[in-house]
Structure formats: C-alpha cells, structure tokens
Amino acid sequence: MNSKKGIIGGIIATFVATIVIILILLVFVLGSGIIKKATGVNEGVKVINETGVGIDDIFGYLPNYARLVEVKVSVRQGTLFAMASQEAGYARG
Amino acid sequence: MLGGKKAQFFSMYLVLLTLLMCGVVIGSYMVQQDDIENSLVSPKAVLEVRDDLDVFELQEVELIKSSLNSASGIFPTQDFIDSFRGIFIFGFMENDQMKNFILKDLTHEGQSFEDAARVNFQNFLEGGLYTKSLTQEDGGNLIFTRAKVRKSTLLTAKDKTKINFPVDLYFEFGREYIISNESGVFEVTWE
C-alpha cells in the first residue's frame, strides 16, 4: 500500500516538476527579450551611444568653432585678432 | 516509501538544475556584453589642433604686417629683410600663445623636440622655423617661409576599461608667404 502511495507521489512530483521546468524555460525564453532591451542590444549588436564615439564632444566643440569663424571674419575685415576674439568671446589657445 | 522520496528529491533536483542553467546562461551573456563594450577616440582633438593652427596663422599674419611696417630700410633689400626678421622674431618670442602652440607636441625625426626647442627658442626660430635662407627677395617681392614642422600626439579613448584603440596622430604644417609692396602698402598673400 505504502509502496503504491510512494509510486503515485513520485509520479505526481515528477509531473509537477516537469510543469515547473516548462514554466521556467518559457519565462527564460520570453524574458530574454526584456534582458536584450535592458542591455541596449538591437538585433544582436550592442548599439554605442554618442558618448562612446565622442559625438557629444563635437556638440560641445561646435559653439566655440562658431566663435572662431566670427573671429576670422572680423580679422578679414581688418579688426585685430585680440579685439576680434574678445568681441566674439573666443577663448581657446 | 523510500523510492517515492527519492523521486520527489529527483524532481526538485531537476527544477533547481534548470534554474541554475538559466542563471549560468544569463550570467555568461552579461559578461560577454561587458567584454564587447568599447570606447572610441574622439575626433575633437584633431579639430582643435586645426583650429589652433588657424588662430596661430591669423596672429602670424598680423605680426608679419606689423613687423613690415616697423622695419627700416628699403623694401626688399637685405637691410630691410634683416630688420623685418629681427622685429618679427622678437614679436613671436613675446607672444606666449604662438609660442605654446608651435612647441606643443613638436617632434623631429620621430623624437620629441618640444623641450629642446623651448630651451633654445630663439635659435629654433631663427635657424629652424624661420630660417634666414628661406626669407628672400624674388622678383621685387619678399618670400617669407615658415618651415614645415611636425606635431605628434597619441589620442586615447576616454574609457580605458573598455576595448579601445589609441591613435597616433601626426600633423605636419608649414607656409610660404609672398609679401609685396604696392605704393607703400604691404600686402601679404599665401598659397
């Protein structure tokens, strides 16, 4: 009698475990999409943002370049460099 | 009874093993993602060197013009050239911005030349950068040449903990000015 109960218990436990494993694998497969999104992967390739390639540096550089262009124009029109850079607010160098 | 407990334990073991395997896959994926992260060299440094050269040349032209106006003698005789060169070299030495630009990362035959040129700066200007033989009269005009010099620097990525590729940057520049005098007004042009 006990042996029969044990066999039935074993079968039930294996059946429950199988369902749990199937659920775990389903969560794993479906959850991989969420993990890919969380780590910034797009179609298997990690996308580098603008900081990684220095593009944000260029955004920071451009305003000063615009001021340098102003200085060049002023100098071409006859203004002295020191005065032109002061007027344009150009400070690098 | 013992066989039933064994079966239950085995079932639990399978569930735990599955969880462990999923954990291992997720963990190795995370590690792999960290390993392929990279950091690239910003092009900003190259743009800034080019801008600094523009600023240097604006100041250089200004200094040439003021030196020409202050020089004594008849254009373009040797006396005039010597006077002009003396005033120009003196003005250059007084301008820290021009001095720092020309000396920064200066190299000669693959070796750093910055310190040597800084110690003997006047000689570097008179005998190297603006060598006397490169200032000469040509068909009524004056040719004033800045010899080619080379800057060299190593550009590195911001985040060195990621995969990064340092870039060896070489930048060579020089210029030839053609100075003419039309009715007492000096005109400075270059190619």
Integer angstrom CA distances of residue B109 from B113, B128, B129, B149, B179? 9, 14, 15, 10, 31
From chain B, the residues in CB contact with A81 under 8 A are 55, 58-59, 62
Give residue A44's pLDDT. Answer: 60
The DSSP letter of residue B126 is I
Contact B173, B149 (CB under 8 A): yes
Yes or no, beta carbons of B55 and A65 under 8 Å apart? no
Integer angstrom CA distances of residue B29 from A32, B18, B24, B60, B110? 10, 17, 8, 57, 44
Mean pLDDT over B65-91 rounds to 94
Express each pLDDT in B143-190 by its tens digit: 999 999 999 999 888 877 777 888 899 999 999 999 999 888 999 999
Check whether B1 has a pLDDT greater than 90: no
User: What is the distance in angstroms between the Cα of A74 and the nearest Cα belonging to chain B?
Assistant: 11
Contact B159, B165 (CB under 8 A): no
The answer, for A42 touching chain B at a CB cutoff of 8 Å, is no
Mean pLDDT over A83-87 rounds to 92
Instruction: Choose the most confident range, by mean pLDDT, from A14-18, B32-36, B186-190.
Output: B186-190
The DSSP letter of residue B127 is I
Size of interface A-B (CB pairs under 8 A): 108
The dihedral over CA atoms of A67, B174, B70, B103, expressed in degrees to the nearest 10, equals 70
Contact A68, B55 (CB under 8 A): yes
Residue B112 pairs in a beta bridge with B107
- pTM (global) more than 0.80: no
From chain B, the residues in CB contact with A75 under 8 A are 58, 62
Which burial class, exposed, middle or buried, applies to B42 when counting CB atoms under 10 A from its CB (0-12, 13-18, 19+)?
A: buried
Check whether B2 has a pLDDT greater than 90: no
Instruction: Choose the most confident range, by mean pLDDT, from A45-49, A72-76, B13-17.
Output: A72-76
Q: What percent of chain B has pLDDT over 90?
A: 61
Which ipTM did the prediction report?
Answer: 0.74
CB atoms < 10 A from the CB of A5, how many?
11
